[in-house]
Amino acid sequence: MPESFLPNTVWLLDGAGRGETMPWRIGEPLPAPNPILWIHLSYADPDVQEWLPHANFLDKPLAQALLDEESRPRVLHHGNGLFLTLRDVNLNPGAEPEDMVSLRLWIEDGYVISTRMRQLKCIREIQSLLGDGLGPRSTGEFLVMLLSLMTGNIGSVIEELEDQMAEVEEQIFEQRGTRARHILADLRRQAIALRRYLGPQREALSRLVTERVPWMSTDDHFRIRETADALIRHIEDLYAMRERAALAHEELVNHVSEQLNQRMFLLSVVTVIFLPLGFLTGLFGINVGGIPGADSPLGFAAFCLGMVVVVAGIVWLFKRNRWL
């Protein structure tokens, strides 16, 4: 079921790692943050599009940014809060991972407002951790945990692509290139798409590392820096995968060319052997008088022997020149 048809939720976090959903509908008063209020909305919901720009707890430009369809990752510092647009791999059933899912966030001390159109695994993981009492204990830790889970999901997808690449390289080495060619093309497409979409996210996290807001501790900044470094490593892995794919494709082309050359050589050998035989049978098969041996009972045997001699001579010539 698409998440755009799921109900919007409000979570109340107790600051000790546990959180619970609150009964709430669009337009109703929001509960006070005690100490953290997380409002998770679907920006495709018409009620949200009508209500959010007029909410008294949010500036109108920020509300419009939360509803904006622009999904390029970015970080904006506004007052004591941060607005972020992030991308995560699409791990929904039946979806392609490179079909990135965007998440928009406004975070300030005590408040987290997030909007999305489709489900995100990292959001489900945070909600599960809150139910188990292992969730974020502050708004800064919420952002750190979200980025860490998101980057972890990206890393898992890239590791899976690397495993598939290793399988393709093995298939090429074992000369099973027909199936490998299709897998290789799909891997190159996914790696290119992921690298294109994750590049702006790397820039956004690099900028986030330099931002200073009162609700983010030194430890939060350190963990965000670690997450940014992990994302950079993942992007470097995608670059390396692209190089591996290019080398694998080159090896596959060489293997196919070698197979084609071997077959063409075999056809050439057969042609060289049977061309003179065809000439001789055609010459001696013409229906005119004067054909040598036409009246001799040993004529056919002598002709066959002559063709054997011709074939043996051709084979000897090939062996002598090391063509066979």
| pLDDT digits 0-9 by tens, 243-300 | 888 887 777 777 778 778 888 888 888 888 888 888 888 877 776 666 777 777 877 7
Two structure tokens written together for 198: 């994750």
pLDDT at residue 176 in the model: 59
| The CATH number fitting domain 3-254, selected from 3.40.50.300, 2.60.40.3140, 3.40.50.2300, 3.30.460.20 | 3.30.460.20
Topology of domain 265-320 in CATH is Methane Monooxygenase Hydroxylase; Chain G, domain 1 (1.20.58)
The DSSP code sequence of 241-295 is: HHHHHHHHHHHHHHHHHHHHHHHHHHHHHHHHHHHHHHHHHHHHTS-STT-TTTT
What are the phi and psi torsion angles at 103 (to 5°)? -135, 130
pLDDT at residue 284 in the model: 76
Domain ranges in the chain are: 3-254, 265-320
pLDDT at residue 316 in the model: 85
pTM of the model: 0.76
Asked, colleague to colleague, whether 3-254 and 265-320 share their fold, the answer is no
Two structure tokens written together for 57: 């707890």
* Mean predicted lDDT score pLDDT of the chain: 85
pLDDT at residue 3 in the model: 43
pLDDT at residue 4 in the model: 40
Two structure tokens written together for 82: 């941060």
Buried b (16+ CB within 10 A) or exposed e, 198-237: bebbeebbebbeeeebebbeeebbebbeebbebbeebbeb
Q: Which residues of the chain have pLDDT under 50?
A: 1-5
pLDDT at residue 232 in the model: 93
